Copies of this chain bind each other. A is one copy, B any other.
Amino acid sequence: MSKETNEGITVKKSEDFSEWYSQVVQKAELADIRYGVQGFIVHSPWGFRILRKIYEMLEHEVELDNHEPFLFPLVIKKENLDKEEEHAGFAPEVFWITKSGSKKMEEEVALRPTGETQIYPMYSLWIRSYNDLPYKGYQSRICTYRSEKTTRPFLRGREFMFFETHDVFSTHKEALTQVEKDIKISEDVIRKQCKIPFLLFKRPSWDKFKGASNTFTPDTLMPDGKRNQLASTHDLGQNFAKAFDINFQDKDGKKKQPFQTCYGPGIWRIMAALIGIHGDDNGLILPFDLAPKQVVVVPIFKDKDKKSVLNYCNELKESLNFSCIVDDSEATPGFKYNNWEMKGVPIRIEVGPKEVSSKTVTVVLRTNRNKIQTKLKDVNSEIKKQADILDKEIENKSKTYFKDNTHDAKDLDELKRIMKSYRGFVRVPFCSVDKDGEACADKLKEQTDGVNVCGTLYPKEEKASGNCIVCNKKAKHIVYTAKSY
C-alpha cells in the first residue's frame, strides 16, 4: 500500500474539489474503489476506524436514550416491501436475490433498502399492550442496498453504511418529543463531536421520507456548494402502524394504533462531511477524538543513534494518555510526515538525538504546523493543549465557511446569479411547502439545472415576506434552496 499513498494530492481543494475528494479517499486509505462492482467499495482500515468511531458515538447516545439494540435480516419479503403505499416507491431501486446455486428460488427476496418494512411486521407481533410502550429499538453497523445510477464513496453507494432507530409510542405527543431527542443527538454527535455545521430543515411535503408525516434533516454544505443531508428524523404518524397492523391495548382497555418515529444518521454522509469540510491540500484533518491515532511519533536518527532514539520513542509512547503510533518503518522522515498528514493524525512528535539528550520532544500540530519544543514530563499536557487548539481551529474554519455560503435572493434571476458564482444555500420566498408548492419546486429545478428546495428552517421558521420566486404568488414561507448530492 505504501507506494500509492505517499504521493501528495495533485490538485488544490479550492480549485478542483471533486478530484481533491477522490484523491483524499484513496491516498488517506479511507476506501478502495477497485473492488470491481459499481457502488460497492472496500472500507480500508484507516477509514473504517473513523466510521467505527461515528457508530460508537451514535450507539452511546441512543442507548443513553433507552434504545435496545437488535439485528434484522438482510432480506425482505416482497409482500412486506409493498405494504405502505408511498413507501413502495423504493421498488425501482431494490436488488433481488432470485437464485441459490443454479436453482431459481421459490420466493425471490429483496435486499433491504431501509428498515421499516422488515422491522414493523415484527413490531406488530411484539407490541400488544400499553405496557410494551414506548418501544425503542435500533440497529447499527449494517449496510443498506439501493441500485443508484451514479455512485461516490461516502456520498452515494449501492451498498452504504446504515444506522436506524425505530420507536413506537402511545401518543403523538410522545412521538414528537422523540423527534426533538433525535435532533439533539444530531446536535451532539454531528455538530459538537464531529464539528460539522448544519442547518436543520423541515422538508417540504414532496420531499419527505416515503411514508412519513414529516421529515427533519440536518443539512450541511460541501466545499463544492452542494447540500449534503447528514441525517433524517421522521415523524411517521400512524401511517406504518396502519399498513403493518401494529396495535396495542391501552389502559382504557381499547385497541389503538400507536405513533412511530425513526431516525437515521447517515454514517457515510457524516464521513463525507468530515473529509470535505475539514480537509486541506495536504489531506485529511480530523477532530482530535475522531482520529484513529491521535499522535504519531517519528524517530529521526543516523545509524549510531538508532537504538537510543527508538528506545526513547517507545518509552514516550508508553507514557502517553493518547492513542499513538511510533512510525519506525524504513521510509524517510519527510515521507512519514506527508503520509500521516494525509491521514489526518492531529499531532506529530519528532524525536532525534537532540531530544533524547535534552529529555524533550518536538510537537507539531497538523493544522498550523508550529513546532513546539516541550519537556518530556510535560508532553501529555502539551498534547492536550494542542488538541484543543486544533479542535477550535476546525470548528471556527467550518463555521466561517458555512456562514459565507448562505445568501438571499428575492427573485429567480438573483438566485441564478448567486448559483453561478457562490452556490451554497440561497434563502428565497416560496409559495407553499405543501403539495401545491411541488409544481413550483419542479420548475425551479428545471430552470436552474437542479436547485432543490431544502425546506423551512426548524424549529423556528423564518417569517415569510415577498412573492414566490417561481409563481410570483404571495409567499407563505422562506425556504432554503441548494444543489444537492
Residues of A within 8 A of B (CB): 1-3, 32, 34-37, 40-45, 48-49, 52, 68-75, 77, 91-102, 107-109, 111, 118, 121-122, 125-126, 128-129, 131-132, 137, 141, 143, 145, 147, 159, 329-330
Contact = CB atoms under 8 A, between A and B. Distances in A.
Contacts of A1: 126, 128, 132
A34 B122 contact: yes
Contact of A37 (B41, B49, B109): B109
A223 to B, nearest CB: 26
A45 B74 contact: no
Given A2-B128, A92-B101, A99-B95, A72 B147 contact: no
Given A42-B71, A137-B45, A91 B96 contact: no
B94 A100 contact: yes
Contact of A128 (B3, B91, B132): B3
Given A73-B159, A98-B99, 17 more contacts: A1-B126, A1-B128, A37-B77, A37-B107, A37-B109, A45-B70, A45-B137, A48-B69, A74-B111, A75-B159, A93-B101, A94-B100, A95-B100, A96-B99, A97-B111, A101-B147, A131-B330
29 contacts: A1-B126, A2-B128, A2-B131, A2-B132, A3-B128, A32-B125, A35-B72, A35-B73, A36-B121, A37-B73, A37-B109, A42-B70, A42-B73, A43-B70, A44-B70, A48-B71, A49-B69, A73-B159, A74-B111, A74-B143, A74-B159, A93-B100, A93-B101, A94-B100, A95-B99, A97-B98, A98-B98, A99-B108, A100-B147
Give how many copies assemble into the complex: 2
Contacts of A107: 37
